[in-house]
C-alpha cells in the first residue's frame, strides 16, 4: 500500500482501480482497524467501481503524530477530501464503519457537494449532551492511558471483551485470529491519540445538521446490535434521503459477520451511480 503525503502527514492508502468511467468508493475503517480490513469488500466490488481504503491517522501504516489535535475531525475531513482529490476523484461514494462512519458523516456534513452517496455502518452522529461528551472523553482518556501504560496486547484483550463485540465470538477461529492480528499490528501511541482527538466525546455532534444533508444515504446496522440499531433508526428519521438496512444475525461489524449480505447492499448503492452503458 503506498503512503501519500497529505497535509503534513503520511497516510497509507490502498487503491483498487475499477472499470473505466466507473465511480470511486472511499472506505474508512473502525477503531483498531486498517485499510486492509476492506480488501474482501474491495474484491467484491472490483467489477463495479474503484475503491480507495485509507488507514486513519494513528492506525495501520499511517503516521502517528504526537499532537492529539491533529487527529480531530476537521483534519480528518480535510485529509479524506485531499486524498480523493489527489487521486482524481472530484466526487465519490463514501463508506465508513463505526469510527470511520463518524468520520464519513463529518465529511458529508462539511462537503456534501463532493459526495455521490454515503454508506454508514454502525455509525453515530456523536453525543448531543455536553455532560455525556465529557464523560466519554474521560472514558477514552482512561483507555488511552491503558494503551500507553500496558501496551497493545493488553488493550486488545480488553477491547475484544467489550459487549459491543460479543457477536464476533461466533465467527470462525481463523477469522477471529486474523482480526486480532490486525488489531495487534497497530501503534499504541497512535490509537491513544486517536481516542483523544477523534473520539465520540471529542467531536462535534451532528444531530441538528442531519435534516439539511441531502446526500443519498444508506444506514446499515446489525440486528444484534441494539444500541446502533436505535441510532440508525433515529438518523433515518432525520436524514431526508436515508434508507435503513437492519441485517439479521449480525452485530456491530456487519461487513465481517455477514459479508455477502453487506457486499450486496453496497453493490446496490454503487449500481445507482453507474453510467447506463455499464448496466
In the chain, the domains with their CATH numbers are 3-128+203-278 (3.40.50.1820)
Query: What's the pLDDT at 29?
Result: 98
Residue 227 grid coordinates: 444500541
Query: What's the pLDDT at 277?
Result: 47
Distance separating alpha carbons of residues 199 and 132, to the nearest angstrom: 12
Query: What's the pLDDT at 179?
Result: 95
Query: What's the pLDDT at 1?
Result: 52
Regions of the chain short of the pLDDT cut 50: 277, 279
Query: What's the pLDDT at 21?
Result: 87
Query: What's the pLDDT at 2?
Result: 84
Q: Which of 181, 26, 5 is nearest to 119 (CA)?
A: 26
For the whole prediction, is pTM greater than 0.85? yes
Virtual CA dihedral for 257, 259, 265, 267, nearest 10 degrees?
Answer: 160
Distance separating alpha carbons of residues 170 and 49, to the nearest angstrom: 31
Amino acid at each position: 500500500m503506498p503512503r501519500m503525503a497529505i497535509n503534513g502527514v503520511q497516510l497509507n492508502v490502498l487503491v483498487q482501480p475499477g472499470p473505466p468511467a466507473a465511480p470511486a468508493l472511499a472506505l474508512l475503517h473502525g477503531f483498531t482497524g486498517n485499510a486492509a480490513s476492506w480488501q474482501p469488500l474491495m474484491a467484491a466490488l472490483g467489477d463495479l467501481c474503484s475503491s480507495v481504503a485509507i488507514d486513519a491517522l494513528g492506525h495501520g501504516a499511517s503516521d502517528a503524530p504526537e499532537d492529539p489535535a491533529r487527529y480531530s475531525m476537521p483534519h480528518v475531513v480535510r485529509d479524506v477530501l485531499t486524498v480523493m482529490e489527489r487521486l482524481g476523484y472530484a466526487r465519490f461514494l463514501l463508506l465508513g464503519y463505526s469510527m470511520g462512519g463518524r468520520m464519513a458523516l463529518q465529511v458529508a456534513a462539511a462537503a456534501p457537494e463532493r459526495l455521490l452517496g454515503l454508506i454508514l455502518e454502525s455509525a453515530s452522529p456523536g453525543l448531543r449532551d455536553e455532560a455525556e461528551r465529557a464523560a466519554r472523553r474521560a472514558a477514552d482518556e482512561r483507555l488511552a492511558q491503558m494503551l500507553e501504560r500496558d501496551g497493545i496486547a493488553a488493550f486488545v484483550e480488553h477491547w475484544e471483551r467489550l459487549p459491543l463485540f460479543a457477536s464476533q465470538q461466533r465467527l470462525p477461529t481463523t477469522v477471529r485470529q486474523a482480526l486480532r492480528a490486525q488489531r495487534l499490528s497497530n501503534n499504541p501511541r497512535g490509537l491513544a491519540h486517536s481516542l483523544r482527538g477523534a473520539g465520540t466525546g471529542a467531536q462535534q455532534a451532528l444531530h441538528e445538521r442531519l435534516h439539511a444533508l441531502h446526500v443519498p444515504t444508506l444506514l446499515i446496522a446489525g440486528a444484534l446490535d441494539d444500541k446502533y440499531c436505535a441510532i440508525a433508526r433515529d438518523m433515518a428519521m432525520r436524514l431526508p434521503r436515508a434508507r435503513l438496512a437492519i441485517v439479521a444475525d449480525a452485530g456491530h461489524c456487519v461487513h465481517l459477520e455477514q459479508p455477502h449480505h453487506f457486499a450486496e447492499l453496497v453493490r446496490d448503492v454503487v449500481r445507482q451511480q453507474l453510467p447506463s452503458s455499464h448496466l
